[in-house]
A and B are shown apart, each in its own frame.
Chain A
Amino acid sequence: MTPRNPAHAVLVAGAGGVGKTTVSAALAVAAARAGRRTLVVTVDPALRLADALGLTELGNQPTRVPGQPHLWGAMLDVTASWEAIVRRHAAVDVADRLEENPFFRAIADRFPAAQAYAAGEQMAEFIESGAWDLLVVDTPPAVGGIEFFLAPRRMRDLIGSRLLRWLTGAHIPGRRTVYRVTARPVLRLADTVLGGPLLEEIAEFLLDLRTLYDGLSHRARSIERHFRMATTVVVTTAQPTPLRETRRLFSELPPLAGRPDLVVFNRTLPDEWSARSRLRSPGLEEAARAALRHNLERWAAESGRQRDARHDLAARLGVPMASIPWLQEAPTSLAGLVGLLEAAAGLHLDLLGVTGDSPAA
């Protein structure tokens, strides 16, 4: 068996609704056209990526995009994430017991880091498979910001926390011991407050969960390594929430994944729009003329706000910035994605650690 090189990963992050999926797809199309074997992975509830790539459905397994020899698409499956994690890292009997535990269901439903972590595990598998040169990851929408990058650490913390060790007592990972919560007066008091032997049940559950620690923490560390090696792209618009998420990514990503390499401003308006432009259309009624002027004034103000936001970010962050014009509709075809790339400014593949001169073998 010949050793296979891992793929380079481009992680596309940003607040929800800024167009991460579209940008990911466009970048993947560009890289594939430059001859790189490219896989684009997403967790897109609207299935727009599948539509745009011409795939009837996007499954867990990578599917080749029709007519594109170097492009594949896949959907990250995070719905059964906890079950998959447990099956992967725990013995069968422990996994069975965990899945039957009511607390397990509660954690599975609610601990968002698990979904993001499961996406990270799948990402690592694709990177390590050697089947692709480049992996473009559209980070999960519910956790599209920093959460995706924090998930491996959160999982390690949850299962290996000092607090948990304190509660479950000295314990050798992998060997489950029967533990009596009632041996501790404080915990007995807690149970009195709660009105039942709740903590004991939880401790039993946590003991099972702790047997995952070795496997999971090893895997989590390899995901964290992949994050640090990856190129990160932050997508934003000039709206306050995405801008706040962008600043947060810049302040919190460096220890996890390095400084972001590129900011993509989506939905940009033409820079030169100014309310002072003349309207050369003689014979236009005064009411229509006034309405058109007023409309341009508003959009020129909007363009000004975008310019301010871009300059502010550029001064603060000092990274390359690309911009994509505000399209009337999001692209729904491969041709639309190519058109988007052509209309974009500053979106060069070499910024992503991808060069076009090294075609797939």
Chain B
Amino acid sequence: MLDRKLLLISGKGGVGSSAVTASLALAAARSGRSVLAMGMLDALGLADHLGVDDLDYEARQVAPGVFTLAVDRARALDEYLRVQLRLPRPTPTRQLARALNVLVDTAPGVREIISIGKPVYEVWSGRYDLVLVDAPPLGQLFSYLRAPATIADLVPAGSIREQAGRMEELLADPAASGLLLVTTPEELPVVETESALAQLTREPVIDLVAVVANRILPELAVSAALVAGLPPGPHRRAAELHQALWSSQRRWLDALPPGPRLPYLFGSHSPEEVATLLAAAWEQP
């Protein structure tokens, strides 16, 4: 999985996809890779898990082999115009950017292609072995993944269209790119994951690497009958709660394809500790 160039990590909001992104960055760096972890819509979660206050548009190193940045749309648009479209220097880019900003907010796919374009450029730049993206949540993911095709439909010709075509190819190439869907074994996250899987079948815009189930409770090595026979008290109530939650998790896990399972982390941990503990879970066989 870590041998691809580009991995997008998404899931329903709140299931822990920023923590999973950060943990993968740490695990990949420990295996000797140079990794860029990017925040897309809301970079604060990723920043927390990497132990920094905020992310900047310029990449910075936060651990050996781990670099991180946040996609800032205004900066990305500027970079897109200057670097990718090779707009000549004397162009009044500020005024042009102002006009294009209206376009960005209105035309289908433009906002998304500028955001999804950034990780693609980073892959093309060849500076990193692996680019990890803390992608928008499931509800918005497909409008980003679809953006290159949308643009290609909308723009008849020219360099934007060419760029869009190359992006579409990179995203759809299973040797280069992949998508990790993070979920927790609960009703709404699983239902949303199932509909995302169906959508991926209809629109194979990117290869699914795996569905990662997060916050999995360990099985309690005591039978329900034994628990029912315990005297009332905290031990019994904690065991009953655990078993009820565990079997509810089982039911929802059965609805998911097999894939990596990450443990429920009991007690207080800082976001950084969460990333470190999950990174250790990735490294277990």
Contact = CB atoms under 8 A, between A and B. Distances in A.
Interface of A: 15-17, 45-46, 102-103, 105-107, 109-110, 112, 141-142, 158, 163-164, 166-167, 186-187, 189-190, 193-196, 198-199, 202, 205-206, 239-242, 244, 269-270, 272-274, 277, 279-281, 287-288, 291-293, 295-296, 298-302, 304-305, 308, 326, 328-329
Interface residues of B, number: 64
Closest 6 CB pairs of A and B: A195-B158, A301-B267, A106-B108, A328-B244, A298-B266, A241-B14
Interface stretch (B53-61, B85-93, B117-125, B196-204): B85-93
B234 A296 contact: yes
Contacts of B274: 240
B266 to A, nearest CB: 4
B188 to A, nearest CB: 6
B103 interface: yes
A196 B101 CA distance: 17
A196 B151 CA distance: 12
6 contacts: A105-B108, A198-B155, A292-B230, A293-B235, A305-B268, A308-B268
Interface in B116-141: 139-140
Given A110-B143, A190-B99, A194-B158, 9 more contacts: A103-B107, A142-B139, A187-B99, A190-B103, A270-B234, A274-B234, A296-B239, A299-B241, A301-B266
B96 A272 contact: no
A87 to B, nearest CB: 21
Nearest to B151: A194
Interface of B: 12-14, 16, 44-45, 48, 81, 85, 87, 91-92, 95-96, 98-103, 105-109, 139-140, 143, 154-161, 186-189, 191, 220-222, 226, 230-231, 233-235, 237-242, 244-245, 248, 266-268, 271, 274
B103 A202 contact: yes
Q: Which of B85, B156, B235, B239 has the most CB of A within 10 A?
A: B235
Contacts of B12: 16-17
Q: Which secondary structure dominates chain B's binding surface?
A: helix
Nearest to A143: B139
B123 to A, nearest CB: 24
A193 B88 CA distance: 11
Contacts of A240: 45, 48, 271, 274
Contacts of A158: 105
Given A102-B108, A198-B154, A273-B238, A304 B268 contact: yes
Contacts of B44: 244
A26 B130 CA distance: 48
A166 B102 CA distance: 10
A299 B221 contact: no
B268 A186 contact: no
Contacts of A239: 14
Contact of B156 (A16, A196, A199, A244): A196
A329 B108 contact: no
Contacts of B233: 277, 279-280
A189 B108 CA distance: 20
Contacts of A287: 221
Contact of A202 (B16, B107, B226, B239): B107
Contacts of A274: 234
A158 B100 CA distance: 15
A295 B106 contact: no
Given A46-B188, A142-B139, A296 B238 contact: yes
A356 B107 CA distance: 52
Nearest to A276: B234
